[in-house]
Amino acid sequence: MEEIEISKNDELVMKLLHYFITEQGYNPIVLHGAKNEIWLENLQGSYKVVRIVTNYIHNDEQLNFDLFRTKQIMKRIKKKTLSFHMNTLSIFLNLGDNVKLQPFEHIPGVDSAKIDNILDLKKYDYIMSEFPDITEQNNFEEKGAELFMKITKDITEKNEIENSHAEDVFQKKTPIVTYFLIAVNIVIFLAMYLFGEGSYHVSTLLKFGALQSDLVASGDYYRLLTSAFVHIGALHLFVNMYSLYIIGGQLENFLGRMKFLIVYCASAIFGALLSSAFSSAVSAGASGAIFGLLGSLLYFGYHYRVYLGNVMRSQIIPIILLNLFIGFVTPGIDNAAHIGGLIGGTLITMAIGIKYKSSRSEKINGWILTAIVAIFLIYLVFFR
């Protein structure tokens, strides 16, 4: 059987890919027209993008053009992933001897390295500080075809795990909690007509748990949550339940039932607290909780922006901004509840975490921020 020969550059590329994909969680980026280079992304990494460039660059002009093109591609990736800052590491494997690699101040956030073998990476302090084990992890005993098969196997297994995670998160499931919440809202709305004087009658609204800041301050704490299940008029109910059906169905699918229910209830409470802090009028409705779901969806989408970047930019963010604008210019809309719900939904999602994405420190920070905001709102309502 003929021995498979692998060139020095191909072996180096395979080792780098193996390290960044299997050890550092990077994923390939598909770029049309990019030849002799591989782009990898990890939006949680210090270097969000790593380039492995095998194209032969024989003079400084070609290098400058390469770095200019890198900047343009980075702009596209930033736009797609809603990233404001994106550090990039370019690793060149085939630079001419007369090409001088130096810092390029005109392209902030881009670090470059020229290597002929893995050990050359030790020359660059900024690489070793971020990836201190990169040389040790690439000390393979296998050579030639055996090395190729091992690296291919490891990368394939890693990709299979990543694909299974994405399939688990995005696989369509029946939104049971969403349906339950809609049913509860409808039952309470009908009960206001069966056992009260209708959904426009103030005493009936208060009887069924509507929000009123003086009553909350005097001890009716339950109104902070129950007010999210009371609606004023059929149109109010229909709009909120339709929004809950669309947004809630998606978010419950992404977060899971228990986390979704926590986000919904916490958003309702945060919205009611901020509403009580700024108004003493009787108010009701699920819109604060629904804004919280939008905030939660925005936070989830940020972590999975490789999949949802375009949806966030074209749908989620415009919907939030449009509804907040309508709330500011239209009389009778409790925009404080919307803003409170939006903040609460975002923070509580940070605290409970996004499956396969959130780190322990990120969740701890989420709980700390949630507690700080909650204490501040409680102070505004009860102690101001």
Segment 347-381, tens digit of pLDDT: 999 999 998 888 899 999 999 999 999 999 999 99
Catalytic positions are: 287, 338
Confidence of residue 159 (pLDDT cuts 50, 70, 90): confident
Burial 47-61 (b: 16+ CB within 10 A, else e): bbbbbbbbeebeeee
Sign of CA dihedral 144, 146, 152, 155: negative
Output the six-digit token pair for 234. 């059929």
CB atoms within 10 A of CB 258: 11
Question: What Cα–Cα distance (Å) separates residue 25 from each residue in 15, 20, 91, 159, 356?
Answer: 14, 6, 18, 10, 12
Confidence of residue 6 (pLDDT cuts 50, 70, 90): low
Nearest to 351, CA basis, from 295, 277, 286, 307 = 295
pTM score, whole prediction: 0.80
Average pLDDT, the chain: 87
Number of residues that make up the chain: 384
Looking at residue 2, the DSSP 8-state letter turns out to be P
